[in-house]
Copies of this chain bind each other. A is one copy, B any other.
């Protein structure tokens, strides 16, 4: 006998029923509204791309985690794990003609082929925000401000912190006399530092030793990586005229000063252990974490000035971040900020008897023209069942048109919140233009 076909959804993919989708939509809309207020403009591109697009940006290791496959035309393609390469290609094509900065965002589904677990899915939503064309600290600060404002708009004040670092600064630090690490080894050192909080101290030291870092240097490096400085403290140092972290923090100090201007400095700290794994970051790197430190990184980003050139474009500095919904949802649920959404309905219309049906459909249409959410019966339910359905969909008001009301050119209105019931002139609904104040 043939195997019964499997209809189950794939592991790591999600279904969203109306209440769940409404909550998710509210979260997405909030994040998107923040990004738009900063003047970022929506773009979009293919959800399937040649695998080479990601190979060239992120190397073979990342490619292993992509949801890649061979298509019917024999091409090596992948469901996109992020939008940066697509957007960089788009910038490359028009960088010479479009004014700078190019401040773009996009929102959509992305995919990764990884073992599904809490906060890590095979299909997820991701918000990508990039500023192309500016190499200045103002752009760094703006990108960080956008990230922080999203978290605040989601009601997460007190629940998150941004850990910021600079690869330029770290390059200087690691190459300095104290550590004396050869510049060609620094990328490998970053890869190890990126794993610092995921592997044992023993393994961490062993891996750094194998890169030629002496024990004496390790004794200084490990506490330095653990030394976190809040931006507020950094600003205090600056006020006092000190430059405690050397030449390379001048730029970070500038970013901190700008974030202070935004009134957001308190959400940021300098954390030397944050370097990010990917080779393509050139200076600023950051990750947003939950304050309790229980969850994986909520999102991260940084500066990647070389990315447009990778796709044959002119040199175009770039800074940005990508924010997925999976860990964010875990944090929002933990802190009871995930919206509990009910279905919203403005009006439910009941007609009594065929004679009133056409009139009711016309009233419904008038209300919908004013963006009201209106339902009428499609089931042949009796009036009492219609009332309980109206209640289920959270209708604010029920309008009822029966023979008696019709004769008097009136409608029966029931306010479902107060339980009050009263009559209103039919005309108020049929000709709302003449009496706009009435429709609330």
Contact = CB atoms under 8 A, between A and B. Distances in A.
Interface of A: 5-10, 13-18, 21-22, 25, 33-34, 36-39, 41-50, 52-53, 55-56, 67-72, 75, 77, 79, 85-86, 89-90, 94, 99-101, 103-104, 108-109, 111, 113, 123, 131, 133-134, 136, 138-139, 142, 149, 257-258, 260-263, 311-312, 343, 345, 357-362, 364-365, 367-368, 371-380, 389, 392-393
Nearest to A388: B99
Contact of A45 (B15, B75, B108, B134): B15
Given A49-B10, A379-B134, A39 B101 contact: no
Nearest to A50: B6
B37 A373 contact: yes
Contacts of A70: 69
A352 to B, nearest CB: 15
Contact of A378 (B134, B371, B392): B134
Given A38-B375, A373-B39, A379-B134, A48 B111 contact: yes
A67 B73 CA distance: 11
Contact of A104 (B18, B43, B376): B18
B77 A10 contact: yes
A258 B10 CA distance: 41
18 contacts: A5-B50, A9-B50, A10-B50, A14-B45, A16-B44, A18-B41, A33-B371, A37-B372, A37-B374, A38-B368, A39-B345, A39-B375, A101-B379, A103-B375, A138-B376, A138-B378, A258-B357, A263-B365
Contacts of A372: 37
B261 A52 contact: no
Most buried by B among A5, A14, A311: A5
A39 B371 CA distance: 11
A18 B103 CA distance: 9
A15 B46 contact: yes
A46 B358 contact: no
In the A-B complex, the 9 residue pairs with the smallest Cβ-Cβ separation, listed nearest first, are A261-B358, A5-B52, A18-B41, A13-B46, A39-B375, A37-B368, A261-B361, A139-B378, A138-B378
A21 B5 contact: no
A5 B378 contact: no
A131 B312 CA distance: 49
A103 B48 CA distance: 31
A23 to B, nearest CB: 11
A307 B197 CA distance: 50
Nearest to A47: B109
A276 to B, nearest CB: 22
A133 B389 CA distance: 13
Most buried by B among A48, A109, A377: A48
Contact of A79 (B48, B68, B99, B368): B48
A139 to B, nearest CB: 4
Contacts of A365: 149, 262-263
Contacts of A18: 41-43, 104
A362 B108 contact: no
A339 to B, nearest CB: 14
Contacts of A25: 42
Contact of A393 (B10, B39, B94): B39
A125 B218 CA distance: 54
Contact of A52 (B6, B258, B362): B6
Contacts of A17: 43, 90, 94
B16 A43 contact: yes
A378 B109 contact: no
Given A68-B72, A69-B69, 19 more contacts: A5-B50, A7-B85, A9-B50, A10-B48, A10-B50, A13-B47, A17-B94, A22-B41, A34-B368, A37-B374, A41-B343, A47-B111, A48-B111, A99-B389, A131-B378, A133-B379, A261-B359, A262-B362, A263-B365
A53 B373 contact: no
A380 B359 CA distance: 62
